[in-house]
Amino acid sequence: MFLWFHKFGSPPHFYRIAGKWIPWLSGLFLVLVTAGLFGGLIAAPPDYQQGDSYRIMFVHVPSAWMSMLVYVAMAVCGIIIMVWRMKLAEIVLISSAPIGASFTFLALVTGSLWGKPMWGTYWVWDARLTSELILLFLYLGIIGLHNAIEDKRVAARAVAILAIVGAVNVPIIHFSVEWWNTLHQGPTVTKFDKPSIYWSMLLPLLLMALSFQVYYVLALFQQCRAELLRRERNSKWVEEL
Amino acid sequence: MIEFFNMGGYAMFVWPSYAISALVLWLNWYLPRNQHRKLLRQLQSRHGSQQQ
Amino acid sequence: MTPARKKRLALITLMLAGVTVGVGLALKSLDQNIMFFFTPSEVLSGKAPQDRLFRIGGMVVDGSVNRPGDGLTVKFDLTDNEQRVTVSFAGILPDLFREGQGIIANGKLGSNGEFVAEEVLAKHDENYMPQELADMGIGEEKY
């Protein structure tokens, strides 16, 4: 196990493996997203209250979930960087940042486009929306900090600390709708009793969520390969490519 | 068909949501890929000139 | 794990715990400011600010919506199942506005105890189902 971990963590090995996985991940993503879009846009019935506008959910909710999941992944990388000083974790952390920022941006924009017809406003400063906006700033802060420091090994440690500390925001986002009065409604799928969503609406939602997870790995691998090449341009294994 | 694109009157909210999602996800896929290719080409030409 | 790594892990745990406690305390002290709206009970017991805009949230009472006078102004009662407050509003209501719906109104308490809203927002619930099921009354008992 440890040996495998060690091998997977070596840059040339990871570079090769990631390259092999990319076409498969692309195919899987396309299948899942097609099924999810068909289910969400065509097969699922309109909602009893919100009509067809609720279909924004199928991109909004997976984006919002991913915005938090990617951040957790980055915080875990941060701990690995600080404790084990693993090079690959540095690359995964910084490569995740633009992808996570994109998901957060999408969650905010699609939420805003959903809020206008349903709530009557594009934006309010309630706890859920504000904490998600803070998440976007955390992502941008991580990207900015990494760019500002020349020495990438030092930059990785600074960014790791920011990622770990910022992780406090993730449970705040999730529980904001329960701890405080908000305009945003409570959770639908992750509450402890049965999810209160009809199965023909839930299924495409889960398909879209799964496809977004596959997409994250796909985009991450691509970003990591570019980052690896940039950093290790003078090393022997790159010369051999 | 028209009914589908009309989205029960919410077309101007639903379709932009999907459009911007597609655009952002595409960019996240395309930009690193493009960069990776550029880097490879750069490294190749550098490697080539060293050998001559 | 080597001792050096153990030490670094402990430091990180300590740091994270410290930040969590700090943020928790800060949020606790800001509690009232983070609350997006007041309930009718809170408003009537004087917890809401008197002299500035605040938000009130509750369900629109069935049969309470009426348009007195010119037809531009809408009046309705909001309830949290304990108290009710009458809200008057002149403007465009969101699509989801209906009796029994959760609503948040931004405005001021008038001298007659009526809440004069400048903006009305709809708060929808977390249940999603097709119309036929809702008609069968399944929405009532959560499934």
Q: What is the pLDDT of residues B1-52, one digit of tens each?
A: 788 888 888 999 999 999 999 999 999 999 999 999 998 888 888 766 655 4
Please say if the pLDDT value at position C130 is more than 50: yes
Q: Give residue C26's domain range.
A: 3-32
| A 23-82: CB under 8 A from B | 41-42, 46, 51-53, 55-56, 59-60, 63
What 8-state DSSP symbol labels residue C93?
P
pLDDT at A4: 63
Report the neighbours of C using a cutoff of 3 or more CB pairs below 8 angstroms. Answer: A
Residues C8 and C59 in one domain: no
Q: Write out chain B residues lying below 8 Å of A105, CB-based.
A: 24
Domain assignment present for C134: no
Closest-CA distance, C68 to chain A, in angstroms, reads 23
Helix (H) or strand (E) holding C84: strand C84-90
Please say if the pLDDT value at position C132 is more than 80: no
Nearest beta carbon to residue B35 from set A63, A110, A226: A226
Residues C64 and C15 in one domain: no
The answer, for A99 touching chain B at a CB cutoff of 8 Å, is: yes
Long-range (24+ apart) CB contacts under 8 A made by A10-18 are A10/A88, A11/A87, A11/A88, A11/A91, A11/A228, A11/A232, A11/A235, A11/A237, A12/A237, A14/A88, A14/A224, A14/A228, A15/A224, A15/A225, A15/A228, A15/A229, A15/A237, A18/A221, A18/A222, A18/A224, A18/A225
Residues C20 and C40 in one domain: no
Strand partners, A51: A47
pLDDT at C139: 45
pLDDT at A6: 66
Long-range (24+ apart) CB contacts under 8 A made by A29-35 are A29/A211, A29/A214, A29/A215, A29/A218, A32/A207, A32/A208, A32/A210, A32/A211, A32/A214, A33/A207, A33/A208, A33/A211, A33/A215, A35/A204, A35/A207
Q: Residue ranges per domain, chain A?
A: 13-239
Q: How confident is the model at residue C90 (pLDDT cuts 50, 70, 90)?
A: confident
Measured between CA atoms, the residue of chain C closest to residue A160 is C12
Please say if the pLDDT value at position C63 is more than 80: yes
pLDDT at A98: 96
| A 140-199: CB under 8 A from C | 161, 164-165, 167-168, 172, 180-183, 185-188, 191, 193-194, 196-198
Please say if the pLDDT value at position C30 is more than 90: no
Q: Write out chain A residues lying below 8 Å of B32, CB-based.
A: 95, 219, 222-223, 225-226
Q: Write out chain C residues lying below 8 Å of A77, CB-based.
A: none
Tokens for C83? Answer: 């108290």
The residue with greater pLDDT, B26 or C65, is B26
Domain assignment present for C138: no
pLDDT at A190: 66
Residues C24 and C88 in one domain: no
Residue type, B33: R
Cα C19 from Cα B49, distance rounded (Å): 53
Please say if the pLDDT value at position C137 is more than 60: no
Residue ranges in chain A assigned as alpha helix (H) = 2-8, 11-37, 57-84, 87-118, 127-148, 152-166, 169-179, 199-231, 236-239
pLDDT at B23: 97
The whole-chain average pLDDT of chain C stands at 83
Residue type, C7: K
> CA A193, A198, A202 angle in degrees (round to 5)?
85
What are the backbone dihedrals phi and psi of residue C108, each rounded to the nearest 5 degrees, phi first? -130, 155
Average pLDDT over residues C4-23: 88
CATH of the domain at C108: 2.40.50.140
Helix (H) or strand (E) holding C23: helix C3-29
* Tens of each residue's pLDDT in chain A, 241 residues: 555 666 667 888 899 999 999 999 999 999 999 999 999 999 999 888 888 999 999 999 999 999 999 999 999 999 999 998 888 999 999 999 999 999 999 999 999 999 998 888 899 888 899 999 999 999 999 999 999 998 988 999 999 999 999 999 999 999 998 888 888 888 877 655 566 788 889 999 999 999 999 999 999 999 999 999 888 877 777 776 6
pLDDT at A144: 95
The residue with greater pLDDT, A92 or C15, is A92
Domain assignment present for C141: no
Contact criterion met (CB < 8 Å) for C131 and A180: no
Domain assignment present for C112: yes
Provide the domain count of chain C.
Answer: 2
Contact criterion met (CB < 8 Å) for A110 and B20: yes
In chain A, the N- to C-terminal Cα span, in Å, equals 28
Long-range (24+ apart) CB contacts under 8 A made by C136-141 are C139/A48
Cα A202 from Cα B39, distance rounded (Å): 42
Residues C43 and C113 in one domain: yes
Please say if the pLDDT value at position C140 is more than 70: no
Contact criterion met (CB < 8 Å) for B9 and A51: yes
Find which of B2, B14, B42 to mutate to test the A interface (most A CBs within 10 Å of its CB). B14
Domain assignment present for C87: yes
The full DSSP string for A7-56 is HHTSHHHHHHHHHHHHHHHHHHHHHHHHHHHIIIIIISPPBTTTBGGGGG
Residues C54 and C20 in one domain: no
Q: Which pLDDT tens digit goes with each residue over A113-155? A: 999 988 888 998 888 999 999 999 999 999 999 999 989 889 9
The total of other beta-carbon atoms located within 10 Å of residue B19's CB is: 10
Closest-CA distance, A120 to chain C, in angstroms, reads 5
C88 and C115 in contact (C-beta within 8 Å)?
yes
Residues C116 and C56 in one domain: yes
Q: Residue ranges per domain, chain B?
A: 2-51
Cα C8 from Cα A83, distance rounded (Å): 6
Residue ranges in C72-142 assigned as alpha helix (H) = 131-135
